[in-house]
């Protein structure tokens, strides 16, 4: 069978690409915006018509860190609506057997009782700092649901927590927190400057290593038979301050950290419950799944970044 992965050269797509080498019975196709402009329906339709994928893992999105979400709200909203609408319509038109679309735990309501579970996605407003991105992504869930209801389509959504790892975008301004901090620590150490972390460092997050997420996505493609949304996250929370310290330790630069509290912290916490995931893994015989520790994941990511500094994404 042919499996199409949109956003195939990104953080999660690259992890799936590496893992797919073990699934030789299937043909995988990894595409980026250079291969097809998913914001354009006609171009997307022509691509699907030519390739006729059996399954689609939809990772492509207009993404960024906290400050991009705050400054580029129109782009975050409109681009994601276009991308998601075009992919879903083409999956329907060309009879894709299963579509797995990627949401994010950051799109859940701001004022909510913790821990968050899969049923709470639309139970309140998202945090103002990322509301445009969140509403666009929520519509991806709604769009998948109404295709299931009207056409019995096997279109489901997975909801990973904060993803990090090799092949990320290490942009200082638009990257997510871990890659941005890795790049900043690299530059600060090189220039013998304090390692400056934006905000107080107090917010708490759950992080999932990209290779763990890749394993769970392929598990959901082949072994998850239900059509309900499912959260992919380890249980443990960690503060941004602790993340910064762990990154600085890998760089051997932990005694030179400062926090710039003139920057917003964004949402303080987004604690999610992974009980449903753990139950489903056990039910499918995958009860030995273990998440990569944050120390090991950060160390691998930092080492990859240093080795690939000249060629990795930093915009």
**pLDDT value at position 66?**
72
What's the number of domains the chain is made of?
Answer: 1
Cβ-proximal residues to 159 (8 Å cutoff; 6+ apart), any chain: 103, 104, 105, 118, 121, 229, 230, 231, 232, 272
pTM for the whole thing? 0.95
Domain hosting 281: range is: 2-307
- Looking at the predicted structure, is the pLDDT value of residue 246 above 80? yes
Q: Which segment of 14-18, 245-249, 268-272, 289-293 scores lowest on mean pLDDT?
A: 268-272
Residue 46 lies in a domain: yes
**pLDDT grade for 24, boundaries at 50, 70 and 90:** confident
Q: Catalytic pick from 28, 55, 67, 133?
A: 133
For the chain, give the mean pLDDT: 95
Question: So what's the pLDDT on residue 264?
Answer: 86
pLDDT score recorded for residue 270: 87
From 35, 78, 30, select the one nearest 58 (Cα to Cα): 30
Would you call the peptide bond into 175 cis, given omega within 30 degrees of 0 as the criterion? no
- Return the pLDDT at 2: 97
For residues 213 and 220, what is the distance between their CA atoms, to the nearest angstrom?
A: 10
* pLDDT tens digits for range 155-191: 999 999 999 999 999 999 888 899 999 999 999 999 9
Within a domain: residue 290? yes
Averaged pLDDT, 258-263: 95
Q: What pLDDT shows up at residue 288?
A: 86
Residue 236, in any domain of the structure: yes
Q: How long is the chain?
A: 315
Q: Is residue 263 annotated as part of the catalytic site, yes or no?
A: no
- pLDDT category, 225, cuts 50, 70, 90? very high
Percent of the chain, pLDDT > 70?
100
- What is the rounded average pLDDT of the residues 99-109? 95
pLDDT band for position 236 (cuts 50, 70, 90): very high
- Is 313 contained in some domain? no
Tens of pLDDT, residues 48-70 = 999 999 999 999 999 877 778 78
Q: What is the pLDDT of residue 25?
A: 83
282 within some domain: yes
In a domain, 208, yes or no: yes
8 A C-beta contact, residue 301 and residue 166: yes
Domain CATH code at residue 66: 3.40.50.720
In tens, the pLDDT along 286-307 reads 888 999 999 999 999 999 999 9
Nearest-CA neighbor of 44 among 78, 91, 7, 11? 91
In a domain, 315, yes or no: no
């Amino acid at each position: 069978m042919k499996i199409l992965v949109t956003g195939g050269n990104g953080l999660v797509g690259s992890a799936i690409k590496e893992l797919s080498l073990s699934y030789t019975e299937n043909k995988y196709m990894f595409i980026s915006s250079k291969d097809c402009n998913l914001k354009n329906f006609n171009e997307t339709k022509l691509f699907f018509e030519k390739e006729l994928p059996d399954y689609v893992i939809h990772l492509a999105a207009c993404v960024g860190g906290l400050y991009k979400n705050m400054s580029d709200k129109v782009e975050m909203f409109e681009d994601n609506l276009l991308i998601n609408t075009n992919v879903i319509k083409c999956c329907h038109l060309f009879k894709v057997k299963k579509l797995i679309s990627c949401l994010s735990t950051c799109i859940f309501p701001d004022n909510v009782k913790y821990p968050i579970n899969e049923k709470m996605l639309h139970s309140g407003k998202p945090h103002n700092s990322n509301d445009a991105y969140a509403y666009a992504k929520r519509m991806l869930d709604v769009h998948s649901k109404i295709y299931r209801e009207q056409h019995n389509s096997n279109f489901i959504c997975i909801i990973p927590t904060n993803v990090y790892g090799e092949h990320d975008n290490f942009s200082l301004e638009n990257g997510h927190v871990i890659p941005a901090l890795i790049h900043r620590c690299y530059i600060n150490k090189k220039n013998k400057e304090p390692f400056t972390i934006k905000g107080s460092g107090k917010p708490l997050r759950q992080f999932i290593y990209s290779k763990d997420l890749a394993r769970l996505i392929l598990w959901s493609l082949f072994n998850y038979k239900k059509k309900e949304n499912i959260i992919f996250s380890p249980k443990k929370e960690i503060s941004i301050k602790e993340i910064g310290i762990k990154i600085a330790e890998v760089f051997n630069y932990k005694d030179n950290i400062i926090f710039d509290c003139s920057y917003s912290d964004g949402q303080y916490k987004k604690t999610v419950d992974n009980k449903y995931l753990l139950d489903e893994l056990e039910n499918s015989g995958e009860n030995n799944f273990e998440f990569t520790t944050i120390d090991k994941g950060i160390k691998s990511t930092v080492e990859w970044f240093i080795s690939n500094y000249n060629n990795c994404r930093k915009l």
